[in-house]
Chains A and B, each alone.
Chain A
Amino acid sequence: DADVTQTPRNRITKTGKRIMLECSQTKGHDRMYWYRQDPGLGLRLIYYSFDVKDINKGEISDGYSVSRQAQAKFSLSLESAIPNQTALYFCATSDSRAAKNIQYFGAGTRLSVL
């Protein structure tokens, strides 16, 4: 089983719908991240969480919200999806105790907003 699991893997939705993407991890890491990836652009950070009570906005948080339900779970919501939120979304984790900030990724969720 994957250490970082994202669900769903693919989703097609319509403009205005509320969407939740879920991420769970078995790595025991305290830090979790949500990124989006668009063609020709690097990964861009949406939100990150250093522990259950710590949530921070990333570079592109507008239109998104998150919930850290437990150390192992971090979900991303699009309250009212719009077409320019069509992208590949990745969840990642890291361990604050590690010497370097190496991040481990889920397999991604491909979201299309029509």
Chain B
Amino acid sequence: RKEVEQDPGPFNVPEGATVAFNCTYSNSASQSFFWYRQDCRKEPKLLMSVYSSGNEDGRFTAQLNRASQYISLLIRDSKLSDSATYLCVVNILSNYQLIWGAGTKLIIKP
């Protein structure tokens, strides 16, 4: 079983719709959680950190469920520019390394 699992997609979503995807992680010692965004053939860039209480950044909402060991990302009022691959990332503090999911590809259609 992969340490961080994501549905690879692609999710094909019309512009303006709301889309959500989840990520599950296997190590209960995971301490920090992030969503990164990666455009085609570009480097990953931090989208947002994920906090236990849930957090929002504009149209983006991230949630963490420690009991079930999953993280979610919700995108409201999706824009064409949201088309990208979204990477779920988990930090296990004991070894200072980030564990990366393979990503979920999102395609927003006009």
**Size bracket, chain B contacts:** 20 to 34
CB-based nearest B residue for A88: B41
Most buried by B among A50, A101, A110: A101
B interface residues with partner A (beta carbon < 8 Å): 2, 4, 8, 32, 34, 41-46, 49, 87, 91, 93, 96-103
Judged by a CB distance under 8 angstroms, whether A102 is at the interface is yes
Contact A42 B87, beta carbon cutoff 8 Å: yes
Q: Give residues of chain A (26-46) contacting chain B, Cβ–Cβ below 8 Å.
A: 31, 40-45
Instruction: Report if A42-B103 is in contact (Cβ < 8 Å); known contacts: A58-B97, A100-B32, A101-B98.
Output: yes
In the complex, chain B residues whose CB is within 8 Å of the CB of A88 = 41
For the complex, give the distance between the alpha carbons of A90 and B100 in Å. 13
- Shortest 10 CB-CB distances between A and B: which pairs? A42-B100, A105-B43, A43-B100, A42-B102, A101-B91, A100-B32, A42-B101, A107-B43, A108-B43, A105-B44
- Contact for A41 among B42, B91, B102, CB less than 8 A: B102
Q: Give residues of chain A (93-114) contacting chain B, Cβ–Cβ below 8 Å.
A: 100-108, 110
A interface residues with partner B (beta carbon < 8 Å): 31, 40-45, 48, 50, 58, 88, 90, 100-108, 110
**Majority secondary structure, B binding face:** strand
Contact B42 A107, beta carbon cutoff 8 Å: yes
Q: How far is the CB of B32 from chain A (nearest CB, A)?
A: 5
For the complex, give the distance between the alpha carbons of A96 and B2 in Å. 27
CB-based nearest B residue for A4: B43
For the complex, give the distance between the alpha carbons of A45 and B32 in Å. 18
Contact B43 A90, beta carbon cutoff 8 Å: yes
In the complex, chain B residues whose CB is within 8 Å of the CB of A42 = 2, 4, 87, 99-103
In the complex, chain A residues whose CB is within 8 Å of the CB of B93 = 101
In the complex, chain B residues whose CB is within 8 Å of the CB of A106 = 43
For the complex, give the distance between the alpha carbons of A107 and B38 in Å. 11
For the complex, give the distance between the alpha carbons of A39 and B57 in Å. 29
